[in-house]
Structure 1
Amino acid sequence: MLYPLTLRSSPRLFSFLALLAAFLLGANAYAGTVWLNNGDRITGTIQSLDGGKLLVKTEYGGNIRVDITHVKTLESDSELVVKDGEFNNDYRAKLVAAGDGTVTLQGVERADGQTTPVSTAVPVASITRVVRPTPFLNEATFKGRFDLAATRKTASTKTQDYTLNTFNELRHGMWRHQLAADYTRNKEDSTDSTYNYGAGYTLDYFISEKAFWQGRAKYRRDFVEELNRQVVYGTGPGYQFWDNELGAFSLSALMSRVHYGYTDGSSENAYAASLRWDYVRYFYGKEFELYTRGEVLRPINSDTKFAINGEVGARYNMNSWMSVYLKYARNQVSGDGRQGGINESVYSTGIGVRW
C-alpha cells in the first residue's frame, strides 16, 4: 500500500525544506541592492564604480551598468573599498541604504596608515570609486579568454589570414597558474608570409600580498623566418602593484636561459636577463578595456643582443562574455650574428569570448 508523503510523516523532509528556505531567504537578504530615482530596484552583487558607471552582477541579467546619477541609494552585501572624491577620503566599509541621494558608510576610514571606525552618510554623487577587496588567500578561481580574427579574400589571388590566441588563469591559495597560446598564419595562394605558433606557462607563488616568485617556460615555432625555434625558461621575483575589479598591474625580473634554433641547423644558447609586465585597466563599468603585456629580454655574451615580445590593445565588452578587440603585437629578435633574426608586427581585430 502506498502512503501519502506529508511533512508530519517525514520530519527529515521538513527539516530539509526548512534549511533550504532559510538558505534561500538568507541568500536574498545578503544580496546587494540598488534603488533608482525612477522607483526601480536592482538586486545583485556590486562589483565596481568607476567613471560614473556602477557595475552590478545579477543572476537574471548578467552584468548591469548604471549611471551613478540615476541612483537614489544603495547597499552592499559585504565590505567594499570606497573612495569619496568630495572629501578625498578612503574607506573600507559596507554601504547601507539611507535617504534620497545619500548612502551610509559603515566600516573604517583609512588615512596615513591608521584606521578609524566610521558610520557616516555621504552623498551618492560624491563616491568616485568602488572596488571589491581582493582577499590574500583566495579560493580556487578560474578565468580565461579566447580571441579570434580571420579574413578570407578571393580575387586574382586567394588570401587567408588567421590569428587565434587564448589566455587562462587558475588561482588557488598562494599559487597562480597562467597558460597562454597563440597561432598566426597569413597565406596568399600557396605561399605563407607569416606562419607561427607558440605557448607559454607561468607559475607564481605569492610570498606576501604583493610580492611573488615566478617561474616560466615558453616555446615558439616559426615556419617562415630563419629563426624558426625559440625556447625560453627562467625564474625570478615579481611584484603585484594592484589586482582588483578595475584592473591589474605586475612586473617581474627574471634570470632566464634562451635557446634559438635556425633553419640551417645551427643553434645558440645563452643566459639572459628579462623584464616582464602585465597591465590591464577597465573603464565605465568594465565596458572598455586597455591592456598590454609582454617581455624585454637581453641575452648575456651572445650574438643576439635584444629581444622583445609583447602586445598592446583595446577591447569593447559587449556583455559579460563577448567582446570586440583591436591590438598590435610585436615579436623582435635582433643581434650581430650571421643568422637572421625576427622583426614581426601583427595588427589584428576580431571577437573575443571570456569565461
Structure 2
Amino acid sequence: MRFPFRQLLCLTTGLFSALSFADQATLSNGDRITGTLIEQTMDELVIDTSYAGKITINRSETLNLSTDHPLRLQLHDGRQLDGVLKADEAAGLNVETVDGQQLPLSGLDAIASIGAIPSDKPAEYEWRGNIAVAGEAQSGNTDTDKLNLSTRVVAEKKNDNRFTVGAMLAREHVDDRLTKEQYRLDGKYDHFFHDRWYGFIGASFEQDPFRDIDLRSVFSAGSGYQFHDSDKLRLSLEAGLSYTDTSFVVDQDDSYAGFNWGLNWEQSLPGDKLMFFHRHRGNQGLDSSDNLIINAQTGIKLPIAAGLSASAEYDLDWDRSPPDNTKSTDHTYLLGVAYDW
C-alpha cells in the first residue's frame, strides 16, 4: 500500500494556511492573540478565537494588529478605509485597500474604530434574552407556595436600533391564602445616533394590589450613552422625562410629569465563572419630591450547562410616599435557574 504523500501534503498545506492566515493582535507583554477580529472601539478589541471563544482586549495593551480580510477602518482624521490591515516590522502599519492602494498609517492610534464592511443587504437583528424561574414549596405547620417568573428579550441592529421587552410575574400563597400578586411589563425602543449615543422611548405597566396599585403606567423618553456593548460587559446610562399615571385600589388616583433615569450593567466577573447584573430605574415627579419611585434588580448567575445557569437575585421596589396602610419598601430575595440565549 503506497503512503498517500500527496494527500498528506495537501492537507498539511491547507492546515498551515488556515493557521497562518488569521487576524492577529500583538500585546505589549509579547502575547499574540489569533482569531477573527469582530470589532475595535476606542477602548477595546474583540477577537473570536477557536480555543477560547470571544476575547476582549484593552486597546491600551495592544501593540500591533493585522487582519487577513477586508474590514472598515474609521480614522481619527475623518477618513474611512475598506481594506486589510498589515503590520510589518520594517514597513510599519499600513492598509491595503480593496482597490489595491497601499496607505501607510502612523500607528494604531490613528484608528478610531474597526468593524465589518456593511453589506448591501439590510442589517439583520441580533436576538438575545433570558428567562428565569424561582420558587419555593413548603408544607407542615405552614403551607407556602412561591413562584417568580421573569423574562427579558432584546432585538438589536448594531449602531442602528434596539427593542427591549421584559415581563415579570410573582405570586405567593400561604395556607391557601394569596399573599402576593405582582405583574410588570416593560418595553423600550432605542435609536442610535452614534455608536454610543442613542435616544429612547419606553413604557412600563405594573399591577400590585397588595401595594394598593391597580395599574401604574409610566411613559418615558430621553437619551442614553452606551459605554460598552459586548458579551463580557454591557453598560449604559440614560435619563429623560416621564409621565406617570397610577390607579389605586383604595387610595386616590394620581398622575404627574417627572424625570427618570436608568442604569443597565451586565458584566462577566474574572475567570468567566460568574455573571453579575444590575438594572436600576428611578422616577422623580416634578410636582413633589414625595413622588419618587425606584426599582432595582441585582444578582449573579453561575453557568451550569450550555445556556443554563443558577441565579441569585435581590429585587427592590421603593416608594417614598406609598398609599396608606402600605410600606414604602418591598424586598425580594430569589434563588432559581435561568436560561440565556
Q: TM-score, normalised by structure 2?
A: 0.68
Q: Deviations over 1:146-179 (max 9, x none)?
A: 0001111110221011111000000136110000
Q: Which secondary structure state, in structure 1, belongs to the residue aligned with residue 315 of structure 2?
A: strand
Taking a change above 3 Å as real, the CA distance of residues 267 and 282 of structure 1, as seen in their structure-2 partners, is same
Conservation of the 8 A alpha-carbon contact between 1:287 and 1:318: no
Match of 1:143 among 115, 125, 128: 128
Aligned to 1:321: 307
Higher relative contact order (CA 8 A, sep 6+): 1
The structure richer in strand per residue is: 1
Could you tell me which residue of structure 2 aligns to residue 349 of structure 1?
335
Residue 168 of structure 2 is aligned to residue 168 of structure 1? no
The residue correspondences of 1:291-330 to structure 2 (distance < 5 A) are 291-302=277-288, 304-330=290-316
Residue ranges of structure 1 left out of the alignment (5+ in a row): 1-24, 34-42, 49-53, 59-63, 67-75, 97-106, 121-131
Q: CA separation of 1:334/1:195 partners in 2, compared to 1, >3 Å: closer, same or farther?
A: same
Where in structure 2 are the equivalents of 1:1-355 lying within 5 Å?
65=52, 82-83=57-58, 88-89=61-62, 93-94=66-67, 118-119=87-88, 139-172=124-157, 174-264=160-250, 266-284=252-270, 286-302=272-288, 304-335=290-321, 340=326, 342-355=328-341
Separation in 2 of the partners of 1:158 and 1:143? 37
| Deviation readout 1:264-301 (Å, 9 max, x if unpaired) | 26200000101111011113564321110121111111
Q: What count of residue pairs does the alignment treat as equivalent?
A: 277
Give 1:187's aligned amino acid: H
Cα distance in 2 for residues equivalent to 1:227 and 1:347: 21
Aligned-CA RMSD value: 4.2
Normalised to the residue count of structure 1, the TM-score between the two structures is 0.65
Whole-Å separation in 1 of the counterparts to 2:222 and 2:241: 6
Identity of aligned residues (%): 16
CA distance, structure 1, for counterparts of residue 188 and residue 145 of structure 2: 32
More deviation, 225-234/305-314: 225-234
Secondary structure, counterpart of 2:210 in structure 1? coil
CA offsets 1:103-154 (integer angstroms, 9 cap, x no match) = xxxx99x99999996346xxxxxxxxxxx97769753111110000111111
Q: Which amino acid aligns with 1:214?
A: F
Q: Which residue identity lines up with residue 207 of structure 1 in the other structure?
A: F
User: Could you tell me which amino acid in structure 2 is paired with residue 89 of structure 1?
Assistant: T
Match of 2:30?
A: none
The CA deviation at 1:200 is: 0.4
SS in 2 for 1:139: coil
Gap change, CA 1:187 and 1:55, over 3 Å in 2: farther
Distance 2:68 2:303 in 1: 27
SS in 2 for 1:161: strand
Change (3 A) 1:226 1:84: closer
Q: CA deviation at 1:339?
A: 7.6
Deviations 1:71-110 (A, max 9, x none): xxxxx9xxx864488xx336554499xxxxxxxxxx99x9
Q: Name the CA shift for 1:203/1:118 in 2 (closer, same or farther; >3 Å).
A: same
TM-superposed CA distance for 1:263, in Å, is 1.4
Contact 2:37-2:67 at 8 Å conserved across structures? no
